[in-house]
Amino acid sequence: MNKKVSISRWLIPAAMAALLACPGAHAEDGVTAQQLLIGQSITLQGGKNDYGVAVLDGVQTYLTQVNRQGGVAGRKVVVKVLDDDNKSAQAEANARQLVTQHKVFIVFGSIEGGPSTAVMKATNALNVPFFGPMAGSPTLRTPHQPLVFPVRAEHKDEFRALMEHARSLGMKRIGFLRSDSETGQQHLDNVRKLSQPLGMELVADMPFKSDTGEAELNAMVAQLTRSGAQMVFNHGGIGVYEKLIRKARAKGLKTQFFGVNSGSTQLAKHLDDLAHTMIFAQVMPSPWERKTAITRAYQDAFKAHKPGEDFSYGSLEGYMTARALVEALRRAGPNPTRESFVAGLKDADLQIEGLKLSYRDGVHTGLPLVDLAIVTREGRFRH
């Protein structure tokens, strides 16, 4: 009997020592002694989506730098990327595949409201954290989503900034281009809520679908003409918005067209001269200026990673979101689990190059930054 006890007393600490020597033996999915595997479903559309490609370039810029410096607690941060083709159903399927088949630690970094909401639906169902969705959809924050950690500000804050600027210029009658969807309806509700205290009137609600054609666009232009809208802004659909602006200008409408950040660089580029003096809300500082610590760090890293390529809001947002991801991973501890990842962000402020991201029980604000930029004659954005 005593002999058995003595053997047990030796075996227990020996077994514990063996486990400590192999930290990956009972690790969380996606965590090994060498790497942290992160899943990302993003809109690339086979490389045709300029914004998605730029975001991914920014993410890879920072993660390459971090991994060269030893990663997070000695583990390289590796991202498994799947293309959702800007389709919500595909984004949800991607998220489920990343978690159940590829066994990623967490999911990260989608773009666009519809796909991001679909990813959230899957990660919530699978009880997996979803960090850094780069979309302004209200669904990511309302009602509160305990497992979702946005980095950028939401569209509602962009709407407010655009409407306040229009009011400062004496405009009171506004139009709103939004998707004909549940998310679009939520955006519409937010615009209506913002309008009243600002003393503004929504005179043209213009929902669009993916198959919106010439007839629908002509009807929108006629609606704007009748309504006397002084300013129009969008929440997405830059392809539809570009066509609407072109048709409105061809008809001689003097309506001012403003926009949110999503796809703003691409929209301004496609519109060329028609974009001159357009006002856009931006959720990142100017990527072309070196006025802030974050843009100086981004520019230096991006030039090294993508020599010869131009800076953009997309790549800066990808870079910033990747930096926030790495800071969150560090807070998860030396042997991270999904629970420790969430716990590390409880009542947390992430400080990144002078910018503060805030996460509180019941409110995951992220970075509240919203700035306005005007498009110059050279097609640049001046803040």
pLDDT in tens, 152-171: 999 999 999 999 999 999 99
Q: What pLDDT, on the 0 to 100 scale, is given for residue 50?
A: 86
Is 137 in the same domain as 196? no
Whether 46 and 143 map to the same domain: the answer is: yes
Mark whether 161 and 278 lie in a shared domain.
Answer: yes
Q: How far apart are CA 243 and CA 241, in angstroms?
A: 5
Domain count, the chain: 2
Which pLDDT band holds residue 273 (cuts at 50, 70, 90)? Answer: very high
The predicted pLDDT at position 235 comes to 87
**Which tokens sit at 11?**
């075996």
Residues 160 and 107 in one domain: no
Same domain (yes/no): 90, 59: yes
Give the end of a domain, one of 261, 282, 303. Answer: 282
DSSP reduced 3-state for 89: helix
pLDDT at 117 over 80: yes
Mean of pLDDT values over 269-280: 95
Query: What is the predicted pLDDT for the residue at 10?
Result: 40
- Same domain (yes/no): 255, 355: no
187 shares a domain with 94: no
pLDDT(141) > 60: yes
**CA 311 → CA 66, 153, 291, distances in Å?**
20, 21, 14
Give percent of the chain above pLDDT 70.
93
Q: Which CATH number goes with the domain that contains 191? A: 3.40.50.2300
| 371, part of any domain | no
Contact 152, 367 (CB under 8 A): yes
Per-residue pLDDT of 25-59, as tens digits, reads 457 999 999 999 999 999 999 999 888 999 999 99
Of 209 and 345, which is predicted with more confidence?
345
Give the tokens for residue 169. 């210029």
Report yes or no on 329 lying in a domain.
Answer: yes
- Give which of 205, 187, 166 is closest to 262, Cα–Cα: 187
How many of the other CB atoms lie within 10 Å of CB of 356? 13
Domain that holds residue 203: 155-282
The last residue of a domain, from among 266, 282, 298? 282
**pLDDT at site 236:** 81
Q: Over the stretch 284-333, which tens digit does the pLDDT of each residue have?
A: 999 999 999 999 999 999 999 999 999 999 999 999 999 999 999 999 99
Reply yes or no on whether the pLDDT at 19 is more than 60: no
Same domain, 184 and 94: no
In a domain, 9, yes or no: no
Q: Does one domain contain both 275 and 159?
A: yes
Would 13 be classed as within a structural domain? Answer: no
pLDDT at residue 381 greater than cutoff 80: yes
**Domain annotation covers residue 129:** yes
The closest of 84, 129, 92 to 111, measured between CA atoms, is: 84
Q: How many residues does the chain have?
A: 383
Same domain, 164 and 269: yes
Say what the pTM is.
Answer: 0.88
